[in-house]
Structure 1
Amino acid sequence: MPSIAELVAIKESVEKKYLAQPGVTGIDVGYKVVGGVQTDQVAIRVHVEEKKKSVPKGQQVPAQIDGVVTDVLERRYELQVTRAPLDVSALADTTHYATLEGGISMGPSRAIGGYVFAGTLGAIVTDEASGQKAAVTNFHVACVDDGWSVGDRQVQPSRVDTGVPPGDEFGAILRAVLSSHVDGAVVSIDAGRTTAQTIVDIGTVNGTKPAALGMEVRKRGRTTGLTYGSVDGLALSVSVDYGDGLGVHVLTGQVSIATDTTKNPLFSDHGDSGSVIVDSTGAVVALLFAGAGTNTVGNPVADVLSELNISIPMGKSIIKDVKDGHKDIIKDKDKELRKDLIKDKELRKEIIKDKELKKELIADGKRIKDIVDVIKVPDLPPIDPGDPGDPGPGLPGRGGFAGRLAEIEGRLSQLESFISADQRPDLSSSAFSGEEELTSDEIAALRAEAERQAADAAAAKTDLDNLLG
């Protein structure tokens, strides 16, 4: 089966043809739906306002496109902003939040054509241009139409939800974009207003992540609150009507979300525009801007960050988790090092034993030398050679050379019994009876191994000191 990237390439090669046909609202790559049930089969999907029994031959979607199975889905897409007359009563979350965070009501201070508008503050972000905290939402939430300007003030909650300017104003439009990929706006935050990198009912925002087919996601919006769904389509090209002054826009590369109807009837509704869509860990994957019924569409987060020049940092709680994880790693490493050090202690014991052995060998050598010194032939009084025929002095009864030789032999016979047989050392083998003698190479190898292990032990201790220090 082709990869997702290959399927997207095939989809892109035909999308202009299908988007130009009447009644077509979008085209993407996603899970095929059979009998209202989503399958695991990935297809090129053509979205239409209404499925018809009779379709002109030139507008029919073939069973396959370039060998890839197709599907036709009945889906309409609308901007999910709420508008109401100025005297309308509140319909959703009307809370005035002392601390600004994601998932809460917001809207422009200005009224447009006698109407006020409501959407959702998606998340607190960092404005890369200034390094200051800011809020992200949709273009059509903060700007509404083509009459907007940088500096337009925003209120929390929206004027639909009982917000009253200027008392409830919290910031102003810094920049906004309505492009082929992004419907977004960045709003400054007034000095003195506190913020939190969290989303109501969800918790900490933990950076960003690309959407993937089958990914379970959540969002918290001003209207439907906390809801659950999953990514059922990628690379969606969708046509959306932005109304007077802006007209129909086609946004490409979008993320399609299917509602988890076991948990909530809808994933989003009017007033939820601007919510960030997050995965199970709190990582942002998309910025919600449109939908209808059980289907929702979001701008991929990478495009949002790039075109709005903002960043969504990893939350403090996840950083703490990572640090704690490193602590666990250090603890595990510490345990391993301690085991190694114990082994090194055993090694040192062996080295000490080797040293004791060397001492014993040296002592044995000294004892052998002492024994040899003891049995060295004692000095004999000098023998005067004299006249060979002269018996010589002090050698009664014997004379001449024969007498002197007899005297030497007598002395030697006395030497033989100088040390008794049971006291004489057996020097015919090594000092350790029954053991083979080490060769010089074996002794050198033993010495090298002991030095290597001692060096490893020293290095292990240094690493442990660095980790714990």
Structure 2
Amino acid sequence: MDQKELAALHAEAETELKKIPGVIGVGYGLKEVGGKTTDQISFRVYVKEKRKPEDLNPADIIPKEYKGIPTDVVLVIQSKPIHCEDLDQHSPLIGGISITNFKTNASNQIGSGTLGCFATLNGVSGPENVVLLSNNHVLASNSAVNGDTIYQPRYIDNAGTITLDGTQERRNPIGKIHNVGQQAPYSYTYPSEAAQDYYLDCAIAKLDICISSWCNTNCGVSYKNEIRGLNIGGNSRLEDVARVADTDLNNGDYVVYKVGRRTSKTTGKVIDTTALDAGGGRMIYIEATQPDCNGDLIFADHGDSGSAVVNAQNKVVGLLYAVDSANPARALASHIHPVMAYLSITPITTANPPVGPAGQTLNDVEGIFTGINHTTEVRERFLDTRKGAEIYQQILDHRQEVVALVNHRRPVTVAWHRSKGPTFLAHFVNNARDPVHLIPFEVEGISRDQMIQRMAEVLTQHGSESLQQVIRHYVDEVMGFINSFDNLHEFVKQFEDASGSNEFSDHAARMEETTDVK
């Protein structure tokens, strides 16, 4: 058929097939099998929802072909505008994504920047040694200090206007500031050279990684040695660290890349290895060589601060912190080695992987949660209430003893397993990570209150005096609410709503009344 004949047949097919309920329209193109495109031509029948043939009336089933041309039932396309900006939340965490502390300035504005890469604290064992690296003016913006929370936010695109989603439930806390760092010169000596002042704008936040001793899983955030869309020769991992030395410029252009939350991946070249910043220190001076995805010849823009600067061998050489106010095509970055020395860190790369339990979060292996992990969010909300902080502190104070009793004191171990403790705990962990996963009220004939009562009894018999006192103090309160919810996120929300009185027992009673009504 020529185009005229084919167009007529296409129109005829659409007219006929749209008579079937649920058909939106008909396209003409390549057939898909198992999500992969084949070479076979087909009429692509677009629907909002795919349904199994057995759930349809025979007359509503789309024929396998129309006048000799195969059909392919496909979902209508959900278009997504192309942006340079990173609008999404990511799990596992990777470099090149948005971060913020959600603190506001005098104009009620929230600052944000870029997660550069991950590193480990020198001399500290895992899992309490993994940090994210960014700028001081990003992590410590609007007077944030050590211990303040860092979030991986979501942005909303409303007809081209991009705004930060500030709702509490979508903030996604990922760690706390460990070292606010500085924005100032720092004296550093490269081997066989004289000391120089290098300008540093750097800071780190410790990731909220929590490796459970009970269920052998990471209950906190997961991360990966990867930078969003870096894709240098098909590789988005950081391979190692390197220095941009004077001699590197003698052999032609020294090409570098960065991925930031505002302009994503850009390409440039180093035009000075030790340019002098007005702040009084030496830095890497970079000029854009290719337009960004908006067509602008810039290496960086507001929001890209904190991006890792990477060379053509996937080695991190610097930390982006500013643009040249006199030339928007040019940007400034701190040298990576002075940053490492000042913060006492080692970037996580292929050459320097982390050692210890936290290292498992780098891998896409069975058992590692890869969706957005809401555990830290629900914990932060719980800790924002007075009673929640009190209870959580008691858990931390006695966790080590309880774990030791469960693992090594036979009567406690037997009670834990017979009460289906591991299964209940796994459900609580999974619900904390994903609110869609509901917590059962009973496992194999054992109810939650039976499990709590049995464990309270056996831990009181074998625990220390301080543990016995805590159990006696809280067991009645816990028994009052333990069967009143199937979702920790809803429980914490009701707890927050009732926290004005700070009476946990009254809140538990109200939850029981609500449950009875349901």
TM-score by length of 1: 0.44
The TM-score with structure 2 as length reference comes to 0.40
Structure with higher Rg: it is: 1
